[in-house]
Amino acid sequence: MKNVYDILVNFKKNPYEFYEWEKNDDIKHIKKIISFKVEDKILLDFMNYDVLVDKKFMGIIEDQTEVFIGRSIDKIKYACLLCNDDVVLAVALNDEGLVIGKSKLLFDEADDIIKKSKDMSIYDLEYNVISKNRHNNSLTRKENNEVFLILKYLNKIYDNKNVDEINYLHYECFDIKEEDYLKSYMLLKKQIEEGNFLVINKIKSFIKVSKR
């Protein structure tokens, strides 16, 4: 493990590329943060899933991250960097060890960390995968937002038991009649979560027409 200095992070549920960061994001200027080189599988798990780390690791990283707050310096209680030979991921954790924020870095900052980590030993980080992250990391931030909104709409009409509407959307999206609205809902939900934009765009068109 090594200390890394003077980087920017943007902790979100999903680790967006730096060019997708937005003006209103709570971007933090890190003064110092501890980094660990890990196996590729570990990094992929942290990127794609909800993860809980063990107490030993929590003790190692506790109060090791310093952040600039205006002209003063504060601490993030649990945070660190994880890297392999290709990617750097910043993570923030709560008091129970659950990863609650993830961030990619600016390209030049990540590249510099990767180069300096070449001689680092692999750290055997112990953790448990809790559940799969609902976000699809192959999608852009804008696309993820669209998935979230369409899924919210689908869940609303399902909760309201709008059976005809759900079955109609199923027919519009798949050109197949389905009388079981639960089956219709489950298939639509699955396709939306997987980022099927043929389905998402058809539902968006339906919503626009229905609101006229």
Contact 37, 121 (CB under 8 A): yes
pTM: 0.75
User: pLDDT by residue for the chain (212 residues), tens digit each?
Assistant: 899 999 999 999 989 999 999 999 999 999 999 999 999 999 999 998 999 999 999 999 999 999 999 889 999 999 999 999 999 999 999 999 999 999 999 999 999 999 999 999 999 999 999 987 555 667 888 888 899 899 999 999 999 999 999 999 999 999 999 989 999 999 999 999 888 999 999 999 998 887 76
pLDDT value, residue 136: 65
| Domain limits for position 200 | 141-210
CA dist., res. 30 & res. 56, Å (int):
23
Residues 126 and 193 in one domain: no
pLDDT value, residue 141: 83
Q: How open is the CA angle 103-107-112, to the nearest 5 degrees?
A: 100
Counted domains in the chain: 2
DSSP 94: -
Residues 108 and 146 in one domain: no
Residues 35 and 110 in one domain: yes
pLDDT value, residue 24: 92
CA dist., res. 177 & res. 132, Å (int):
31
CA dist., res. 105 & res. 103, Å (int):
6
Residues 120 and 187 in one domain: no
Residues 195 and 120 in one domain: no
pLDDT value, residue 209: 83
Amino acid at 5: Y
CA dist., res. 170 & res. 178, Å (int):
7
**Taking each helix axis from N to C terminus, what angle separates 141-159 and 197-210, rounded to the nearest 10 degrees?**
60
Residues 113 and 180 in one domain: no
pLDDT value, residue 39: 96
pLDDT value, residue 1: 85
